[in-house]
Amino acid sequence: MTPPKIVAIDGPAASGKSSTASRVAMALGLAHIDSGSLYRAVTWIAIESQLDLPAAIVAAARARRITLDRVGAELLVHAGGKPIDEVIRGADVTAHVSAVSAMPLVRNWVNDVLRGAVAKSGGAVVDGRDIGTVVFPGARLKVFLTASPATRAKRRLQQREGEVDSEVLASEASLLEERDRRDSSRAVAPLRPSADAVVLDTTTMTLAEQVAQILALARERGLSEG
Ligand code: CDP
Ligand code: CDP
């Protein structure tokens, strides 16, 4: 039996993981999963229901039926069958998501959902923080995307509203760096490149260039045939 085609794309906040993974998935005819969307969904529920304890948070995620459902090539996060991809991107969720993601029970639940979804799809391009190190250590291709904090902050602001002034840019960069620091220093599944990952610094690259580089690597690994 051929192993499922899995591409892992990890990296810090706003390094371009989801945009890149989505395009790579489309080109390879695979599904795309943004694993951060599950951590955001669980955090959104924890905030709404005012829950702090990991077991209560996971129970609420189950009760609210958080699932990944296919919409075109994307596996998007839903609660009780309704799309929640927009509401989970708010500042409040962003401020709390690193703390909720540091809970091992939450991580186990998310990993089960991810592994189930990938098994059902027969492969996928999955982006996150620990996809190559923990969730799919056997992935056929692992990429770790980086970019300077200022570049990442600028990309995130442009993605949101277009206008970027220097004060807003500095505060966004410090928020991103703080989240990266928490994600990198937690005890379980910290943000770091897998030893066998290809590290791509995209600071001076366009989105099209980074997609093209990853597709070239995918071809080398036999991911684009058939
Ligand atoms: O898109 P952005 O880079 O802002 O973040 P995200 O991918 O939506 O992930 C939100 C948060 O979820 C991260 O800051 C991590 O705390 C957590 N996360 C994680 O711990 N492990 C993953 N595989 C993916 C996300
Ligand atoms: O998933 P992650 O938080 O790592 O980043 P994203 O939401 O995919 O990307 C943040 C923004 O950077 C998106 O609007 C991308 O189009 C943009 N971007 C990029 O990813 N790579 C470049 N070389 C230039 C812009």
List helix spans (H) across 15-125: 17-28, 35-48, 54-63, 91-101, 104-121
Nearest CA owner, ligand 2 atom 11: 155
* Mean pLDDT of all residues belonging to the chain: 95
Q: Which of 29-33, 168-172, 178-182, 209-213 has the lowest mean pLDDT?
A: 168-172
Q: Check: CB of residue 78 under 8 Å from CB of residue 68.
A: yes
Each residue's pLDDT tens digit, 90-139: 999 999 999 999 999 999 999 999 999 999 999 999 999 999 999 999 99
The confidence score (pLDDT) of residue 141 equals 98
Q: Which ligand is nearest to the CA of 153?
A: 2
The confidence score (pLDDT) of residue 165 equals 84
Q: How far is the CA of 165 from the centre of ligand 2 (A)?
A: 19
Report residues whose beta carbon is within 6 angstroms of any ligand 1 atom.
Answer: 13-14, 35-36, 39-40, 97-98, 101, 128-131, 179, 183
> Mean pLDDT across the stretch 41-59?
98
Q: How far is the CA of 203 from the centre of ligand 2 (A)?
A: 11
Q: Which of 106-115, 158-167, 171-180, 213-222 has the lowest mean pLDDT?
A: 158-167
Identify the CA nearest to 73 among candidates 37, 125, 119: 125
> Mean pLDDT across the stretch 39-55?
98
Q: How far is the CA of 129 from the centre of ligand 1 (A)?
A: 6
In the numeric block, the tokens 């080109």 are attached to: 27
Q: Which ligand is nearest to the CA of 156?
A: 2
1 — pLDDT class (breaks 50, 70, 90): low
* CATH code, residues 5-218: 3.40.50.300
Residue 160 has pLDDT above 90, yes or no: no
Q: How far is the CA of 156 from the centre of ligand 2 (A)?
A: 7
Specify which residues 17 forms β-bridges with.
none
Nearest CA owner, ligand 1 atom 14: 98
Report the interhelical angle of 166-185 vs 91-101 (nearest 10°): 20
**Ligand 2 lined by 148 (C-beta under 6 Å):** no
Backbone angles phi, psi at 128, to 5 degrees: 175, -140
> Mean pLDDT across the stretch 174-194?
95
The confidence score (pLDDT) of residue 162 equals 65
The confidence score (pLDDT) of residue 225 equals 65
The burial of 47, by beta-carbon neighbours within 10 Å (0-12 exposed, 13-18 middle, 19 or more buried), is given as middle
71 — pLDDT class (breaks 50, 70, 90): very high
